[in-house]
Amino acid sequence: MSLFLQLLFNGLTVGSFYALTALGYTMIYGIIRLINFAHGDLLMVGAFIGWTLLTTVAIQHIPIAAAIAVALLLSMAATGILGLVVDRFAYEPLLRGSRLSILITALGVSLALENGVQLGYGAGFKAYPHLLPSVYLPVGGASLGVTQIGIFALSLALMLGLYLFVHRTAIGTAMRALALDQDAARLMGIDVEGVIRLTFFIGSALAAAAGVMMGLYYSEISFTMGFLLGIRAFTAAVIGGIGNIPGAMVGGMVIGLLEAFTAGYFSSRWSDVAVFGALILMLMFRPRGIFGERVVERM
């Protein structure tokens, strides 16, 4: 029982990272049908921006909570702008072109981001400063880290905020509308390109939040961290039902739990087998994903 609880806590923490990242994949796929291969790398850039802020900008002089909040917000803003710029200059000119050219461009952006960060920061791991207290609460024989609670709560808050934005505001409704029919959306007076840029901003900012939290949680980051994480988060989006926002959140948690339980009960070497095995099973038996029955509502 205590092992089960421990794995549950770990799984939900990792699942939070996947869920936040999967949201970007799913939103971008939902509106422009692009699998943004660079999305995991934007998370990595976010983690490095957070690292830079936490280590160099003498944040020692302010309280830890404030330092983390500042690093998170600035990293989210900067990464969000980077995502927006990538969309504006790399993807937007190709939106009316072939599907393949934009997909290849996304691969190119991914490589450019990885190599750019490697050039700037070097190829080695970067140690994240130990800012979070190592306080654990005993729960049913397992220990629940205060950090884990914080990560889960913040992720949940971000996801809830996104959900409300998409479903309760005019711009959110515009996003859902253009996912369904771009030309009709234009006829409503919606600046479609502008809304797409905003979507890239939001998706990239959420990935950056995940990146900074991963740095704080695992204590180290590297320029390759976005690759595998991105693939797993994309898997989460597909399992949840690509294009579907609640699906990405649930899919992320499913992948996180699957990974934790496989690692705990078998071996961490099997976790990728479990994750991608689940993907294959899902594609075979329910290709639209968990939330796929709502085909009409893509977001």
Partner 1 sequence: MALLEIDRLHTFYGKIEALRGVSLTVGEGEIVALIGSNGAGKTTLLRTVTGLERARQGRVAFAGQDITHLRPHAIVGRGLGHVPEGRRVFSGLTVAENLMLGGYLHRAVPRLLAERSARVFELFPRLAERRGQLAGTLSGGEQQMLAIGRALMAEPRLLSLDEPSMGLAPVLVRAVFAVIAAIRKSGTAILLVEQNARQALRLADRAYVMETGRIVVSGPAAELARDPRLRAAYLGGEVTA
User: Which residues contact partner 1 (rule: CB under 8 A)?
Assistant: 170, 173-174, 176-177, 180-181, 183-192, 294, 296-298
Whole-angstrom CA distances from 176 to 35, 234, 275, 299 are 18, 20, 29, 6
Compare residues 230 and 247 and give the one whose CB is closer to partner 1. 247
CB of 49 to partner 1, least distance (A): 33
d(CA 30, CA 28): 5
Question: Is 142 in a helix, a strand, or coil?
Answer: strand
Residue closer to partner 1 by CB (options 139, 184) is 184
Q: Is the CB of 151 or the CB of 174 nearer to partner 1?
A: 174
Residue 137 CB: number of other CB atoms within 10 A? 12
- Per this entry, what is the length of the chain? 299
The two three-digit tokens of residue 89, written as one number: 């200059």
Beta carbon of residue 102, minimum distance to partner 1 (angstroms, whole number): 20
**Shorter beta-carbon distance to partner 1: residue 66 or 184:** 184
Q: Judge whether 203 and 28 are in contact, CB under 8 Å.
A: yes
Smallest gap from Cβ 295 to partner 1, in A, equals 8
- Find out whether 245 and 27 touch, Cβ atoms under 8 Å: yes
Least distance to partner 1 from the beta carbon of 196, Å?
A: 13
Q: How far is the CB of 106 from partner 1 (least distance, A)?
A: 25
Retrieve residue 214's tokens. Answer: 């991963």
220 burial class (0-12, 13-18, 19+ CB within 10 angstroms)?
Answer: middle
Q: Which is nearer to partner 1, 174 or 214 (CB)?
A: 174
